[in-house]
Amino acid sequence: MASEQMKHVALLLLVLNFCMYVIVLGIGSWSMNRAIDHGFIIGPGFNLPAHFSPIYFPMGNAATGFLVTFALIAGVVGVASAIVGLNHVRTWTGDSLPSAASAATISWTLTLLAMGFACKEIQLSIRNARLRTMEAFLIILSATQLLYIAAIHGASSFRRT
């Protein structure tokens, strides 16, 4: 009975995390596209600017490039983790738990890394509303992904008895 309840909790967290990772990917993709379109123009006869950075973003602050890069990586791995997790919730056996747990843990650690850059960006101020939204989603995702990992591991202890 408890295992079945944990399955529903895990499924709810899985769907929530999937939607939030897709939103992070959307905002991160917009930011990357804007940086590519409005970044430095370097061609023949042009010299590099004095403070050139390969991850220069015209919006935000010095942490924005790192935040967007790692948020995109965490988002892609998070979506892949949700797909693996959906397979685990569908079968709900001990055989599918290791792959779902390891994918979720890798996704969580990358989300924590991106959340660290989000915290640095918050500390430095000067950012637009879309970046604030992505920061909030990354901070929330770091907690909900951990809860998802706890839910699938908690259910495994109920299934063994």
Amino acid in position 116 = G
Residue 122 located in a structural domain: yes
> Who's near 119: CB < 8 A, 6+ residues apart?
135, 139
Domain count across the chain: 1
Domain that holds residue 62: 1-36+55-158
Q: Read off the pLDDT of residues 106-141 as tens digits, 9 standing for 90 and up.
A: 999 999 999 999 999 999 988 889 999 999 999 999
- On whether the pTM is more than 0.85, the answer is yes
Residue 119 located in a structural domain: yes
Report how far apart, in Å, the C-alpha atoms of 17 and of each of 35, 43, 72, 110, 120 are. 26, 42, 15, 14, 23
Residue 124 located in a structural domain: yes
Q: Read off the pLDDT of residues 70-83 as tens digits, 9 standing for 90 and up.
A: 999 999 999 999 99
Residue 44 located in a structural domain: no
Residue 76 located in a structural domain: yes
